[in-house]
Structure formats: C-alpha cells, structure tokens
Amino acid sequence: MTVSLRSDISTTPVDDGMILLNERTGRYWQLNANGTLVLNALLSCASTAEAARHLREEHPRLPVMQAEADVSALLTSLRNALLLTS
C-alpha cells in the first residue's frame, strides 16, 4: 500500500512533531513526534508493519499489537480527514 499526502496538503516540522495544513480549506492538524515518525515511515513507502516496527524501535516496551493498532488508527484518522490520496 502506498501512502501519500494530497497535493493541497503542506507540512511543517515543529519541535515536537509536524503540522499538516490543508491549503484549500485552511484547516490544520498537528501530529506529535510518534505520529510524525509513523507518517514519515509510511510516506517513505514503508508498510504498516514496518511503520509499527519503527515505532517500537523508539518505544521498545510498546507491545507489537499496540504499535500496529496505533499505526492503523493514525492512518484511519488521516484518511477520514481527507489528508491522504489513498
């Protein structure tokens, strides 16, 4: 599965994550550091399992199933907000 941001979405890194701005509507979303890590992995063509692995590398005590659920929840949120093309 390939994940990419819509063409009207711009990103800005901030100290604790990333801001996503829908240039068409003016709405924005803020991702924390974990959300940014996962989104960047997915945008780099990582699978959801690979993105979960990246998350676990940052948080070794995080159970595998929780990391996978967190990645899935973020993807669902980004899709529901119409930030992704897929």
pTM: 0.92
Instruction: Give CA–CA dist 19/30, Å, rounded.
Output: 5
Q: Residue 13 domain-assigned?
A: yes
Domain extent at residue 22: 9-80
> Are the CB atoms for 1 and 78 separated by under 8 Å?
no
85 occurs within a structural domain: no
Domain total in the chain: 1
Task: Determine the pLDDT at residue 58.
Answer: 95
At residue 46, the pLDDT reads 87
Average pLDDT by stretches of 10, the chain with 86 residues: 92 97 96 97 93 96 97 96 90
> Residue 54: CB partners within 8 Å, gap ≥ 6?
37, 38, 41, 46
What is residue 45's predicted lDDT score, i.e. its pLDDT? 86
Q: Are 79 and 6 contacting, i.e. CB atoms less than 8 angstroms apart?
A: no
Cα distance between residue 35 and residue 75, in whole Å: 10
